[in-house]
Each structure stands twice: as C-alpha cells, then as structure tokens.
Amino acid sequence: MLVRTPSNYPSESLLGYVLRVSEANGYETPWHVLSHANINQGEMATAGFPIGKLAAVLNRTPGELDGISYYGTDEMGRREFKLLGHSLGKGLNYSPLRLKHPAICPHCVAEKGHIDAFFDLTLAVACPHHRCTLVNQCPACETPLSWFRPGLLTCKCGASLADAATEPAPTDLVALMAILWSLVHQQEVTETAPGFPVSQMLGMQLRSLLLKLPDLGRWSCPSANISPEDLAVAAAGVLADWPNGFHRFLSRVGHRSLGDKAPAAIGLRKQFDQLYNQLFRVHSCGAEFNWLRDEFVRFGLTEWGEAVVDNKLLRGNAANHRFVTKKELARQLGVSPVTLRKWHRDGLVDMKAIPTQRQVRYVADSLADGCKPPIPAEGVPALSSQKTKST
C-alpha cells in the first residue's frame, strides 16, 4: 500500500494519474509506484497497462479505475481498447494513442491539477481552451517528455514545464481540437468552431474520426513521413469553411490525379477511385461518413466538370445533373446524338473532351449557355429536332 492514494479525476489520463500518484508520494519517478505494484517498466506506456495491479497498491478495486483504463470488454465480453469509455477497436494499428511520447498543455495542468485523457490522443496536437500548441519537450534540457519524471510539471532534469513556451495554434486547428475534445468528453462544443460540420462530426464514434482524419490529412498533404501536427492541420483545412473547403480539397485531388494519367472513365466514382475506397468503403466506419460521401456526390453534380455522376452513387435519390454525357445532353435537348454531334462540330454546342484510358469521352455543362439549342440566323430555318438517320 502506498502512503498517499489520491482518487482519479473522471477524465484523467491513466498514465498521468500514475505520475500524479508518484508525485504525491514524493518519488522522483513513477518507477517506484510500478515496483510496489509489481508492474514491469515496459508495461507503463502501453494500452495494456494492468490497472488491477495498480488498484491493489491504492486500496481500490479495479472497477474504480475502469473509467480511465485503456482497455475493457465489449458487449460480447471480448477485450477491446478504449479511452474514457469510447471504443478504439480491438487493435491499435492506426496509432490512436500517444503513450510513449506524451505532450501536455502546461496551462491546463496548472489550472486543473491533472492531465486530461484528451492529450493521450495522437491527434491532440493543440489545446482548444488555451488555443495553443502543446509541450512535448523540456524547455531547459530539450529532452522529449517522458512519463518517468518527478511531477506533472517537472522534467526529470528538474526544470519546470510550466515555463515552457507555447505558440498560438492556427484558428482552424483550434476549432478541430474543440470538436475532438467535445466528442471525447461527450459534451457540446464550448469553444467556437465556425464553418465546421460540427453536428455531423459529433454524431460519429471517436474511433471513426480518429481513423479518417489522418486519411483526409494525407490526401490533402501527400508528403512522406508527415507529422501528426501537420496531418491535423491539413485535415482541419479540408473541413473548415464547410463545404467549400472540402470541395477545394476534392478539386486539388482530382487535378493531381488527372495530371498524372488519363482517367479510367468519365464517371466520378472511377476518377476518385482510391480516395473513395479509402474514405467510404471501409466497413468499420464507412456508414458514419455518409454525410461526407453525400457532399462528395454533390461536388460531382455541381462543380467537377471533368466527370459525370452515375445514378448508382445517388442511391435512388433524385438529383439534377449539371454535368452530363453527350447521350444525356442529346436526350435533354430532344435531338439525336447525330444531330448533337453535328452541332458540336459546327461550334454551336460546347462539350468538353475527356481523353480516358480507352477512348475520348465528352462531358457537357447542361447549365451553360453553350449547351442550349442553337438559335438559327435570321432567314435560316431552325435545325430540326427530329432524329436524323446516320449516313
């Protein structure tokens, strides 16, 4: 039994709690707490941290620490990882937790007296309350932070982490962090997040958001070895100014793809094949991103003039197609494809040629003036809208 056994806060980081217990007992490092609890040093910074052993030296039951544990059981009794009760899945290959290399907001720690579990997230790269970047190294010795230090705000070199400088975080990043904080703590967004799809994001599971935000960041900023900070900033840029920011992101992705090679087809789905599969066809959370998928389809219907939207993407919902195939434009104008081809050849109707991998296809903007029936010159009879025979 340890001499001092402070209770944990409901939203406290588990490893932060171990450090706080160590500090309360006057130890220079949590290793002494681990030794008392018969916990290997290697188990300290893992999601499988044995809370039962820790509870024993705190004179508490394991159930009293369940709320801040990194693992538990699902409804079927199977083991799964979690954070503050949110399921993180049965595997952590997508690295949702930052346990070996902690980062903190020193202002939050000074005000609250503990480290919030929010900062255990890899994507938690800024504080939404103090609108600042986090501290991940000592301001004096410049050593990366470790859980094995004397106190919450004390580096192992003895320097105060409270003296560490924090930089103002970008506005969009702060807004994204505010939404993520609210989802973790299951509360309304208390900080401003203008221009973000807040209700849609808060309606998702935490695991789904942690899976997909990095994907958005990588597609937006396709650089090798991009840091979590840069991923979060890039993802924030995609979702800010909703839905315009998302449309601009899709346009960049599309033009980047078209710049490399001819598209496989003029269908929107095929042109954005890799992005579509990664974002919307993952069984574990694809359905939760239907709001993002619907906006992707709307982008194809209203803005992306390099492709047409297949009716299968609409899932039975009626929609006006702005960008149409040559065949569909002929149907809308009430003429045969042969007549439309002649009008296009004579410069009377505008259509954009899209060289695909198999053939040249045409896409027309049905709302443009150049896609209206041509007006005949004075004294010249109008072109017949009746279907003509091919010669």
Is the same domain home to 22 and 91?
Answer: yes
Residue 168's pLDDT band, with cuts at 50, 70 and 90, is very high
Q: For residue 225, tell me if it sits in a domain.
A: yes
Per-residue pLDDT at 190: 66
The total domain count for the chain is 3
pTM value is 0.87
Is the same domain home to 285 and 367?
Answer: no
Is the same domain home to 236 and 211?
Answer: yes
What stretch of H or E contains 324?
A: strand 323-325
Q: What is the pLDDT of residues 298-313, one digit of tens each?
A: 999 889 988 888 888 8
Residue 321's pLDDT band, with cuts at 50, 70 and 90, is confident
Question: Any idea which of 13-22, 70-79, 224-233 has the lowest mean pLDDT?
Answer: 70-79
Q: For residue 354, tell me if it sits in a domain.
A: yes
Q: For residue 168, tell me if it sits in a domain.
A: no
Per-residue pLDDT at 376: 56
> What CA–CA distances, in Å, run from 12 to 100, 105, 106, 187?
17, 14, 15, 16
Is the same domain home to 302 and 358?
Answer: no
Q: For residue 183, tell me if it sits in a domain.
A: no
Q: For residue 149, tell me if it sits in a domain.
A: no
Q: For residue 194, tell me if it sits in a domain.
A: no
Per-residue pLDDT at 145: 96
Is the same domain home to 339 and 307?
Answer: no
Q: What is the pLDDT of residues 1-55, one digit of tens each?
A: 899 999 999 999 999 999 999 999 999 999 999 999 999 888 888 999 999 999 9
User: Of 287, 314, 341, which residue sits at a domain end?
Assistant: 314
Is the same domain home to 327 and 310?
Answer: no
Rounded-to-integer distance, Cα 148 and Cα 30, Å: 6
Is the same domain home to 39 and 105?
Answer: yes
Q: Which two tokens stand for residue 377?
A: 């010159």
**HEC profile for 189-221?**
CCCCCCCCCHHHHHCCCHHHHHHHHHHHHHHHC
In order, the DSSP letters of 25-47 are TT-SSTHHHHHHHT--GGGTTST
Residue 390's pLDDT band, with cuts at 50, 70 and 90, is very low
Domain extent at residue 300: 204-314
As a residue count, the chain comes to: 391
- 74 with 80: CB under 8 angstroms? yes
300 Rama class: left (phi>0) / alpha (psi -120 to 50) / beta: alpha
Q: Is pLDDT at 322 greater than 90 in this prediction?
A: no
If you average pLDDT over each of 82-96, 220-234, 247-261, 298-312, which comes out highest? 82-96
Question: Any idea which of 75-79, 126-130, 210-214, 298-302 has the lowest mean pLDDT?
Answer: 75-79
Per-residue pLDDT at 310: 84
Q: Is pLDDT at 175 greater than 70 in this prediction?
A: yes
User: Of 103, 121, 139, which residue sits at a domain end?
Assistant: 121
Average pLDDT, rounded, for the chain: 88
Is the same domain home to 307 and 344?
Answer: no
Q: For residue 144, tell me if it sits in a domain.
A: no
Per-residue pLDDT at 391: 34
Is the same domain home to 307 and 334?
Answer: no
Per-residue pLDDT at 384: 46
Q: Is pLDDT at 192 greater than 70 in this prediction?
A: no
Per-residue pLDDT at 318: 60
Which has more pLDDT, 286 or 46?
A: 46
Is the same domain home to 340 and 267?
Answer: no
Rounded-to-integer distance, Cα 321 and Cα 325, Å: 10
Q: What is the pLDDT of residues 329-387, one digit of tens each?
A: 888 888 888 888 888 888 888 888 877 777 788 888 888 877 777 765 444 444 444 44
Q: Is pLDDT at 327 greater than 50 in this prediction?
A: yes
Is the same domain home to 287 and 361?
Answer: no
Q: For residue 263, tell me if it sits in a domain.
A: yes
Per-residue pLDDT at 283: 66
Q: What is the pLDDT of residues 115-164, one digit of tens each?
A: 999 999 999 999 999 999 999 999 999 999 999 999 999 999 999 999 89
Is the same domain home to 303 and 344?
Answer: no
User: Of 68, 91, 121, which residue sits at a domain end?
Assistant: 121
Q: What is the pLDDT of residues 272-282, one digit of tens each?
A: 999 998 888 76
